[in-house]
Amino acid sequence: MFLILALISVGIAILFWLLDRVTLSPKGRYVLITGCDTGFGNALAKSLDRQGCNVFATCLTPNGAKTLEECTSDRLHVIMMDVLKSESIKEAFEEVQKKLPQGSGLWGLVNNAGVTGNVGYYDWWTRDDFRRILEVNLLGVIEVTNVFLPLVKKVKGRIVNMSSGIALAPCSAGGYAISKVGIETYSDCLRLQLHHFQTSVHIIEPSFFQTDGMQRKKAFDDPLERAWSRMSKEQQDAYGRSCIDEFKQLYGEISKTADTRIHLVTDSIEHALFAKYPWKRYPVGGLIRFVARPGGLLPSFIGDFLRYNFVPFPKPHRGQIRREDATREQQSVNGILEGLDCRLENIQRDTKSD
């Protein structure tokens, strides 16, 4: 009996493995990808272009657009678009409509554009700091999807949204984590709504990968220094300068050890676009698949205990602040005493001379 069950299990596993590798041809299909200046979007655009797919690659900077155009075929169309500006999104939509053949639509919409930032404690950051991240990573995705959705519905296509593994175990990623948790919820709701139109929605959840967004100074060090400079004296005393330095060191190490195999992410996006039976979610990287996702199923008190004790998260250095204050006070007292000694010596010399 056990042998029969084992054989059935193996047979089912093989069947799923085979079905997972049944794909549709990308040739002749039209896909729009946002955020193609660098990183995942850039690599995905080049890969789909090589496979014969017609790509609309949106870029934010003229330099990013020029670089991408120089190394791709005429099947790839670069479009300038800023997801922060509604007018820019509408102009991009009109340009895509003009270039699409009569009666066709978008087989795929890949919402990849995003920014990092705001690591650390929430009270270090202002409303404007959070607004920028949410407008790019969440509201920008929603608006781009709403504008281009008619073209995706037209051919019963697919929407792929870039989330992050940090959404499964948010800790120190600040506004970035909030925006990616929002992407998860938005994508789940959108998937249910679009089921009636036979249009599917898929979520990519990558771990830490080495992209332009992971450049340490630009993404982490500069914002942390800016946060420290505008803190009140009370906040600085509560956290300590060492807390800022430890965050910089932590994310410096993460930047150095981030996975360089970005093809793992683009392969997952391609599977979501062209697999006959695509997944709803794509956790990319062992840390996400075997730690973050299973950890999210634990009761909150267990998850919190594990994060408190095993996840590196710099803590406030209030004791250090007290020691530093005591040292400064002692130095001040010593300075006063030295000044009094000098005055006494001067008085004694004046008395002797008299």
The catalytic residues are 176
SS (H, E, C) the chain: CHHHHHHHHHHHHHHHHHHCCCECCCCCCEEEECCCCCHHHHHHHHHHHHCCCEEEEEECCHHHHHHHHHCCCCCEEEEECCCCCHHHHHHHHHHHHHHCCCCCCCCEEEECCCCCCCCCCHHHCCHHHHHHHHHHHHHHHHHHHHHHHHHHHHCCCEEEEECCHHHCCCCCCHHHHHHHHHHHHHHHHHHHHHHHHCCEEEEEEECCECCHHHCHHHHHHHHHHHHHHHCCHHHHHHHCHHHHHHHHHHHHHHHHHCECCCHHHHHHHHHHHHECCCCCEEEECHHHHHHHHHHCCCCHHHHHHHHHHHCCCCCCCHHHHHHHHHHHHHHHHHHHHHHHHHHHHHHHHHHHHC
What burial letters (b/e) apply to 187-206, b meaning 16+ CB within 10 Å? beebbeebeeeebbbbbbbb
